[in-house]
Amino acid sequence: MKVCSSKEGVIKLVDGAILKLRIAVVHAREAGFSPFAGVNIDVKAIGGVATLGVPEELKEKVKDKPLMPPSPGLPKDGWEIVDIKEQEPAMEEVIIDTSKGKFLVRVVAEATMVARNLDYKSTLGEPIYWVSWVWKISWKPIQGVKHDGEY
């Protein structure tokens, strides 16, 4: 498997915060037949979220709040839904070898919901944000097409 393209996602919220969504394909391999070019591909992907920017007035609201408690589990109090104003989905593409030749596997992650907690703060002194996202996975055969590497 070879990573040939990757793009961080950006999530802009109505409260002025800007979040980053980053994904990675951990592994992708052939897993039997499918009607999609004759190959089924099992894809394992992971993702994570970080703040890129939070308005000062929100930092001020949490400055005297306790740090979010460590795992296990999230605090059950203080959560409120924050609408997504706009976003650019995160994406990663990899090339894999299969019994039917080389395939381009594309994984896209798009945020669907965001919640914010102003009862706790992060180690950076920011509100806590929690993001739910969906995976969009697709693949297609490639024949001699060059992207960023050799195939």
What number is the average pLDDT over the span 101-130? 97
With pLDDT > 70 as the criterion, what percentage of the chain qualifies? 95
* pLDDT tens per residue, range 44-92: 999 999 999 999 999 999 999 999 988 788 999 999 999 999 999 999 9
The dihedral through the CA atoms of 7, 12, 13, 18 has a sign that is: positive
72 beta partners: none
Distances, alpha carbon 142 to alpha carbons 98, 103, 108, 115, in Å? 11, 5, 19, 40
Report domain extents, the chain: 2-141
Structure tokens at 95: 């090339």
Return the residue matching tokens 């990899």.
Answer: 94
Q: What is the pLDDT of residue 143?
A: 79
- Quote the CA–CA distance of 105 and 95 in Å, as a whole number: 6
